[in-house]
């Protein structure tokens, strides 16, 4: 009898161990990945004044979750949400979770095992912001989970193409990470009806030794000290589309070589290089070919007009050393649309973004206290600005000529002082309806109203809205 009982106990213990160790089911979550998911999305054509509801998804539970609209901002039960191919994470303007997104430069899904290498580039992680997705449709979404981030749209046919890049996403509740790759978007006439993707949890520590980085066609990687003209022949320079520079101190002579000899160059990555430049050097000013520039991680300042009057569409600051943005640093770069200032920025000088016609949304870091003269002058497509810190003053013409501006958000209760009237040409009212609004913290509207110039106080009150959170 004792032997029989002993055998039964051993058998039960073995079954118990097999249940815990079995690949495919964890004690507190769904089956282990990778997971392949298809999300049915509502009508997402985003016609004027109409919009569907987001579909919310939990990575931990590997399923869609029901979240009431009133509870979205406070719920931690969702990690990502879809409205067609517009995506949200539980972060920033969308929620109080820890979510954020990093876009890798690889499509090697299996090769990514850890988030740690990407966490070393905090300037490239994005939280959710409010964006105008269509006329009268203002929603909070993640810039990387949107057009230009994880999908593109053909201007003529309206056909959608999903990116094959792998995205790293931090979930809402904990410092846990998933890798995600879009597979397919189905729909017609520019509207998305379903989205397929795969994802899996990855470690927060360790490297990605199995990751395969395949060089792009017409890509040149240059390393070590010296000059670009010594490492690249003039004949080769005329064929390069992507340039990566590592472990080199870049001088103006190198940028002159780029502008004069590299006529097919579209993208420059200098994240692992350094700058040996003067404040008044021209850098990429007037260049018409380069579309994307990745600055050195250790860059501390941007000089006068360095990226002005050029055709840059995207500028990336991957590090957290940048403190100063110089006079007219990005002025009249009429295609510049994607720029995220790192949290380290403390000072921005006059006319920094003057006449940047493609710029639509921007967040000003908490360390910036003074908004200088002409900062966004004539940015005619600028739609929203968020100030994370306490703004002490806003200079002359800071927003003058911003004829598409819909909102400015202040996150502190103390209003700024104004030099003159910085909002000349901002359409407070359009077609007889309120068009523009200031968003201010709860309980602070009267203080902001009292400090404001340019309107009779009884006329202006409708333009201030207090945030609930």
Tokens at 232, concatenated? 């690249």
User: Which tens digit of pLDDT belongs to each residue from 275-328?
Assistant: 999 999 999 999 999 999 999 999 999 999 999 999 999 999 998 999 999 999
Same domain, 242 and 342: yes
Query: Do residues 184 and 287 share a domain?
Result: no
329 domain residue, yes or no: yes
440 pLDDT higher than 80: yes
Using alpha carbons only, what angle is made at residue 317 by residues 316 and 318, rounded to the nearest 5 degrees? 105
Query: What is the pLDDT confidence band of residue 132, given thresholds at 50, 70 and 90?
Result: low
Per-residue pLDDT tens for 374-389? 999 999 999 999 999 9
Predicted confidence (pLDDT) per residue in 150-160, tens digit: 998 877 777 88
The percentage of the chain sitting over the pLDDT mark of 90, rounded to a whole number, equals 69
Q: How far apart are CA 338 and CA 330, in angstroms?
A: 12
Query: In terms of pTM, does the model score above 0.95?
Result: no
Is residue 407 in some structural domain?
Answer: yes
Lowest-confidence segment of 116-120, 135-139, 174-178 by average pLDDT: 135-139
Biggest CA–CA distance in the chain, Å, is 96
- 362: domain CATH number? 3.80.10.10
- In which band, very low, low, confident or very high, does the pLDDT at 467 lie, cut at 50, 70 and 90? confident
Predicted local distance difference test score (pLDDT) of residue 133: 59
More confident residue, 426 or 154: 426
Quick one: 262 and 324 in the same domain? yes
Q: Are residues 158 and 291 in the same domain?
A: no
pLDDT value of residue 16: 38
Please report the pLDDT score of residue 457 as a whole number.
52
Q: Is the pLDDT of residue 455 over 90?
A: no
Query: Quick one: 242 and 296 in the same domain?
Result: yes
**Three-class SS state of 389:** coil
Residue 208 domain flag: no
Residue 319 in any domain: the answer is yes
The pLDDT of residue 52: 64
Residue 431 lies in a domain: yes
Residues 289 and 320 in one domain: yes
Mean per-residue pLDDT for 450-455? 72
Lowest mean pLDDT of 179-183, 353-357, 450-454, name the range.
450-454
CA distances from 227 to 224, 256, 452 (A): 9, 11, 53
Q: Is residue 192 within 8 Å of residue 54, measured between CB atoms?
A: no
What is the span of the domain harbouring residue 46?
Answer: 35-202
Residues 229-243: tens digit of each pLDDT:
999 999 999 999 999
Whether 28 is in a domain gets the answer no
Omega before 378 cis (within 30°)?
no
Looking at the structure, do residues 178 and 258 belong to the same domain, yes or no?
A: no
Burial of residue 20 (number of CB atoms within 10 Å: 0-12, 13-18, 19+)? exposed
Q: Answer whether residue 353 shows pLDDT above 50.
A: yes
Looking at per-residue pLDDT, the higher value among 448 and 169 belongs to: 169
Question: Range with the lowest mean pLDDT among 139-148, 182-191, 195-204?
Answer: 182-191
Give tens-digit pLDDT for 238-260.
Answer: 999 999 999 999 999 999 999 99
Cα–Cα dist 263/257, whole Å: 10
Mind giving me the DSSP string for 36-49?
EEEEE-------TT
Which pLDDT score, from 0 to 100, does residue 59 have?
A: 97
Per-residue pLDDT at 28: 47
- The closest alpha carbon to 227, from 246, 250, 247, belongs to 250
187 near 159, Cβ under 8 Å? no
Q: Are residues 163 and 233 in the same domain?
A: no
Question: Residue 273: enclosing H or E segment and its boundaries?
Answer: strand 267-275
Backbone angles phi, psi at 284, to 5 degrees: -100, 10
Choosing from 176, 202, 228, the residue where a domain stops is 202
Output DSSP code: residue 288. Answer: S
pLDDT for the residue 69: 86
With the C-alpha atoms ordered 170, 174, 177, 182, is the resulting torsion angle positive or negative?
A: negative
DSSP string, 20-34: HH-TT--SSSS--S-
Answer whether 437's CB lies under 8 Å from 461's CB.
Answer: no
To which H or E segment does residue 76 belong?
A: none
Instruction: Name the domain boundary from 161, 177, 202.
Output: 202
Whether residue 345 is found in the same domain as residue 444: yes
Mean pLDDT in residue range 399-418: 94
Provide the pLDDT for residue 43. Answer: 56
181 and 245 fall within a common domain = no
pLDDT in tens, 16-43: 333 333 344 433 445 678 999 999 987 5
Count of domains forming the chain: 2
> Within this chain, do residues 182 and 251 fall inside the same structural domain, yes or no?
no
Residue 150 lies in a domain: yes
User: Residue 465: pLDDT band by 50, 70, 90 thresholds?
Assistant: confident
Residues 246 and 158 in one domain: no
Q: Is residue 9 part of a domain?
A: no
Whole-number average pLDDT of the chain? 88
């Amino acid at each position: 009898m004792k032997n029989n009982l002993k055998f039964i106990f051993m058998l039960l213990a073995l079954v118990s161990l097999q249940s815990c160790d079995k690949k495919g089911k964890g004690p507190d979550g769904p089956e282990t990945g990778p997971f392949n998911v298809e999300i049915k999305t509502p009508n997402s054509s985003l016609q004027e004044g109409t919009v569907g509801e987001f579909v919310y998804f939990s990575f931990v539970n590997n399923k869609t979750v029901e979240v009431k609209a009133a509870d979205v901002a406070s719920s931690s039960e969702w990690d990502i949400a879809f409205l067609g191919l517009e995506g949200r994470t539980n972060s920033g303007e969308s929620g109080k979770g820890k979510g954020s997104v990093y876009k890798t430069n690889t499509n090697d899904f299996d090769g990514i095992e850890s988030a740690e290498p990407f966490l070393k580039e905090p300037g490239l992680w994005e939280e959710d912001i409010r964006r105008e997705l269509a006329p009268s449709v203002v929603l909070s979404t993640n810039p990387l989970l949107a057009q230009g981030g994880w999908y593109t749209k053909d201007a003529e046919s309206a056909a959608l193409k999903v990116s094959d890049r792998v995205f790293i996403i931090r979930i809402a509740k904990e410092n846990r990470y998933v890798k995600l790759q879009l597979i397919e978007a189905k729909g017609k006439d520019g509207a998305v009806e379903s989205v397929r993707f795969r994802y899996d949890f990855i470690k927060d520590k360790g490297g990605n030794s199995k990751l395969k980085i395949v060089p792009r066609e017409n890509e040149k990687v240059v390393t070590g000290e010296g000059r670009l003209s010594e490492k690249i022949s003039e004949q080769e320079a005329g064929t390069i589309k992507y340039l990566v520079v590592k472990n080199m101190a870049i001088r103006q002579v190198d940028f002159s070589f780029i502008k004069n000899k590299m006529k097919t160059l579209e993208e420059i990555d200098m994240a692992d290089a350094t700058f040996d430049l003067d404040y008044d050097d021209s850098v990429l000013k007037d260049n018409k070919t380069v579309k994307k520039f990745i600055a050195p991680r250790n860059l501390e300042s941007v000089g006068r007009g360095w990226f002005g009057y050029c055709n840059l569409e995207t500028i990336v600051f991957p590090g957290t050393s940048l403190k100063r943005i110089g006079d007219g640093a990005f002025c009249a770069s009429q295609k510049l649309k994607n720029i995220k200032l790192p949290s380290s920025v403390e000072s921005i000088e006059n006319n920094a973004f003057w006449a940047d016609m493609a710029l639509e949304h921007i967040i000003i870091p908490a360390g910036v206290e003074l908004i200088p003269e002409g900062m966004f002058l004539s940015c005619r497509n600028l739609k929203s600005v968020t100030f994370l810190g306490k703004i002490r003053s806003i200079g002359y013409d800071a927003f003058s000529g911003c004829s598409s501006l819909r909102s400015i958000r202040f996150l502190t209760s103390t209003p700024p002082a104004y030099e003159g009237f910085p909002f000349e040409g901002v359409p407070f009212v359009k077609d007889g309806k309120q068009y523009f609004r200031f968003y201010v913290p709860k309980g602070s509207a009267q203080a902001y109203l009292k400090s404001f110039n340019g309107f009779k106080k009884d006329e202006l009150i409708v333009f201030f809205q207090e945030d609930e959170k």
